[in-house]
Amino acid sequence: MTDETKYLLPENKIPKVWYNIAADLPTPLAPVLHPGTGQPIGPDDLAPLFPMALIGQEVSTEREIEIPEPVRDVLRLWRPALLYRARRLEQALDTPARIYYKYEGVSPSGSHKPNTAVAQAFYNREEGTKRLTTETGAGQWGSSLAFAGRLFGLEVDVYMVKISFNQKPYRRALMEAYGARCVASPSVETNAGRAVLADHPDSNGSLGIAISEAVEMAAQRDDTKYALGSVLNHVLLHQTVIGQEALLQMEMADDFPDVVIGCAGGGSNFAGLAFPFIGRNITKGEKTRIVAVEPAACPTMTRGTFAYDFGDTAHLTPLVKMHTLGSTFVPEGIHAGGLRYHGMSPLVSHILDAGLIEATAQHQVGCFEAGLTFARSEGIIPAPESTHAIKQAVDEALKCKAEGTSKAILFGLSGHGHFDMQAYTDFLAGKLEDHAHDDVALNEAMSHLPDVAAE
């Protein structure tokens, strides 16, 4: 072990390939099904929404996929990202554990999301797309795509979940600063939005609704495609630069994690950090524990079912097999907006079902407490989403203390919280509550899952 505090790789160590875990899975992923026919879909079904290069990556089983040089060239603006040893947090917790974190908040929009936004914008431009539509929860993805779209000369329209649109005006300003258009969802611009507003004029919105709006707009115009910031295989693939860098940095630290932790909304930052380590578990027999952390208010992995479901509320998307609370589930307005999605990515769900990872749920008040302990020792104000990983890491470190064992803990700090200060203001004023859904509410939403015979 070295005694440094941060591990910085040179630019030429930005990964040259993405790691595709589909190549190493013990069993293949369940097929994606057409919402109308219930039959497996082919590339042509997805072509109205995505460029062919991304559709190819979605179904690829090649272990390594080359990162195009123009994409690496943009990633160079902030990558390789730093990996830190959290020595001051260790002292604050008085733990024998060694805590490391990989920090993605150094990107232009402040999270891991530009890692895939840049790649998606690049492939769209290559195939002639002029405009991208997308949804955003907390605004992290919208601002990341706004930034990436601008660099590659694409127009970007963002449907932003209404509660976040109101809670986070500066995220909207950031999207507009990059030149994107940002619309509160549900909106009157789409059939999907108008249908929700007719039934629920005061709807707070949800990611599922915003996805319906963005997909509907993309399907209408030939020059317009849709971009998703999480969940899909190609998105998780693009995030694996995180874990590949972390492997090299743990080597620089002359250490190796006993446990790797990430927060999980759709699963992309978790996968980005964890998949290269899971790959080592599968192919090299390492025994690293891998833990995905979700909010107790949206407990997809810990209380949902593993079944075919729609990705959106209006049922425009294909059916994917995933851990889901049901596409009609609308989570409470917790501050970790990026973790309020009714499903989990099919890849992370599959890997959880195969027993290759663990899942746990944390309540938001405990997460904010851990986030402040972190900020007051390490200095960085974490994104509310990221505090879920911090809370889990703190719990693991305190367990080491109680047991008198020294383990190496690595967690993903997926973003900073500079645009989320209202959440901290509310927390400090004692206004935050814990929400846990009762079984009745959860079972109600899950009783509407589509009937799919195929397995």
Ligand X SMILES: *Cc1c(COP(=O)(O)O)cnc(C)c1O
* Binding residues vs ligand X (CB under 6 A): 111, 113, 140-141, 230, 263-270, 338-339, 383, 385-386, 414-415
Residue with tokens 């929404």: 49
Which structure tokens are listed for 56? 């190819």
Nearer to ligand X, 318 or 415 (CB): 415
What distance in Å separates the CA atoms of residue 19 and residue 14, rounded to the nearest whole number? 13
> What letter would DSSP give residue 404?
T
Residue with tokens 């960085």: 380
Helix axes 207-220, 191-199, angle to 10 degrees: 150
Residues sharing a CB contact under 8 Å with residue 312, sequence separation 6 or more, in sequence order: 192, 208, 209, 211, 212, 215, 327
**Shortest CB 272 distance to ligand X, Å:** 8
**Shortest CB 193 distance to ligand X, Å:** 22
127 within 8 A of 119, measured Cβ to Cβ: no
Which structure tokens are listed for 54? 């991304």
Nearer to ligand X, 292 or 400 (CB): 292
135 within 8 A of 207, measured Cβ to Cβ: yes
**Shortest CB 410 distance to ligand X, Å:** 16
Nearer to ligand X, 224 or 386 (CB): 386
What distance in Å separates the CA atoms of residue 256 and residue 83, rounded to the nearest whole number? 13
Nearer to ligand X, 90 or 135 (CB): 135
Nearer to ligand X, 260 or 400 (CB): 260
Nearer to ligand X, 230 or 313 (CB): 230
Alpha carbons within 13 A on the beta-carbon side of 54? 30
**Shortest CB 84 distance to ligand X, Å:** 16
**Shortest CB 270 distance to ligand X, Å:** 6
Radius of gyration of the CA atoms of the chain, in A:
20
Nearer to ligand X, 125 or 149 (CB): 149
3-state secondary structure of 412: strand
Measured over the CA atoms of residue 43, residue 18, residue 80 and residue 416, the dihedral's sign is positive
231: left (phi over 0), alpha (psi -120 to 50) or beta: left
**Shortest CB 386 distance to ligand X, Å:** 5
Which structure tokens are listed for 206? 């949800």
Nearest CA among 413, 431, 427, 418 for reference residue 170: 418
Which structure tokens are listed for 389? 């990983």
Nearer to ligand X, 125 or 304 (CB): 304
What distance in Å separates the CA atoms of residue 59 and residue 69, rounded to the nearest whole number? 22
Nearer to ligand X, 313 or 345 (CB): 345
Q: How many residues does the chain have?
A: 455
**Shortest CB 243 distance to ligand X, Å:** 13
Which structure tokens are listed for 173? 């300003």
Nearer to ligand X, 253 or 357 (CB): 357
Pairing of strands 83-85, 6-7: antiparallel
**Shortest CB 413 distance to ligand X, Å:** 8
Pairing of strands 305-310, 17-19: unpaired
**Shortest CB 292 distance to ligand X, Å:** 9
Q: State which residue has the least CB distance to ligand X.
A: 415
What distance in Å separates the CA atoms of residue 118 and residue 242, rounded to the nearest whole number? 15
**Shortest CB 141 distance to ligand X, Å:** 6
287 within 8 A of 280, measured Cβ to Cβ: no
**Shortest CB 339 distance to ligand X, Å:** 6
Nearer to ligand X, 15 or 265 (CB): 265
